[in-house]
Amino acid sequence: GFDFAATGENYNWDFSSLLPVSQSLDTFKTIQQTPVYFWPSFYAVANLAIAFNIGELIPGLVFEQAFQFIQKNTTAYSDYGYGLIVQGLPLRFSSPDVLYAFPMNYQSTFSSDAALEFTVPDIAYLEINRNRQNIVDGWGNITTPYGSFNALRLKSEVFEIDSIYVDSV
């Protein structure tokens, strides 16, 4: 019964009757709190990392642990890529994916292009090409089971092409 696309100026989003199925807490880490073999790839460009569950990205290859590396500063939050623990694989975007550009105001727009290419010789190949188009299309107040908050609504449209090749012979 909720219209998640409804938005506008001085809008009131009331999600107070939602009940969580599950809940988790995201914990950001410094680069120094990640495995040392990721440092050469991300130390100069990122200042935050977040662990996440990547599951089985390449069929048959289960990752023990994964991190997303982010640069947070006063002008943007930018995704610089991933560190995957199988053999300490760093997957770095050749240009970062800008998740948020600051300052954000009503009707602000920004876009981002990101690309990643990774090869495990004689085993697998992964390529990601991503275009992100963003607009701040609403502002107002959001009410959740945890309280009411001033809010901006950011609409993000992501067009992504992923290519995966696995040598099964």
Give 52-65 pLDDT, tens digit per residue.
777 655 556 667 78
pLDDT tens for 28-75 read 999 999 988 889 989 999 999 998 777 655 556 667 788 899 999 999
Residue 88 has pLDDT above 60, yes or no: no
Instruction: Tell me how far apart the alpha carbons of residues 25 and 151 are, in angstroms, rounded to a whole number.
Output: 20
* pLDDT band, residue 156 (cuts 50/70/90): very high
Name which residue leads in pLDDT, 1 or 7.
7
For residues 2-21, give the mean pLDDT.
Answer: 91
Give the range among 77-91, 106-120, 125-139 with minimum mean pLDDT: 77-91
Residue 104 has pLDDT above 60, yes or no: yes
Q: How many CB atoms lie within 10 A of CB 138?
A: 21
Residue 82 has pLDDT above 90, yes or no: no
The DSSP bridge pattern shows strands 65-72 and 124-144 to be: unpaired
* pLDDT band, residue 80 (cuts 50/70/90): very high
Residue 113 has pLDDT above 70, yes or no: yes
* pLDDT band, residue 166 (cuts 50/70/90): confident
CA distances 121 to 4, 89, 117, 165, Å, are 44, 12, 13, 11
